Amino acid sequence: MSAVGSLVFCTECGNLLDISTGNTKNILICDCCGAENKDNASKTIVTKSNPSSFPSALRAKRSIFQKVERDDLENTQKAQETCTACGRTEVTFVSVQLRSADEGSTIFYTCDCGNKWNTNN
């Protein structure tokens, strides 16, 4: 019997054997060739890795919280929008792509009076 991680294979034909019980006196019989293999589960090494050890852009997109870079928020422009709090007609805005690429961006407006609001484009 040879083991790769938690998978146990027959030494004769390489077929995947039934799950190891951890008892070294147990014999695992291959369904393919009928060979008897000693259960060497005690020699099997099991490793686990933390998902955060391998960062992934796809995993980040599945997260409830989306990361927005500070550089994206510092690209502000002026817009001719009316502030709902003070009535000022010129406010600053920034457009950020928070949703998937085939959907519109989110526009964050900020008025000099401190009022902030957003719209989905």
Positive or negative torsion for Cα 45, 50, 53, 58: positive
30 is in an annotated binding site: yes
**Separation CA 20–CA 9 (nearest Å):** 10
Spell out the alpha helix ranges (H) of the chain: 57-62, 70-73
32 is in an annotated binding site: no
- Binding-site residue positions: 10, 13, 30, 33, 83, 86, 111, 113
- Binding-site residue positions for Zn(2+): 10, 13, 30, 33, 83, 86, 111, 113
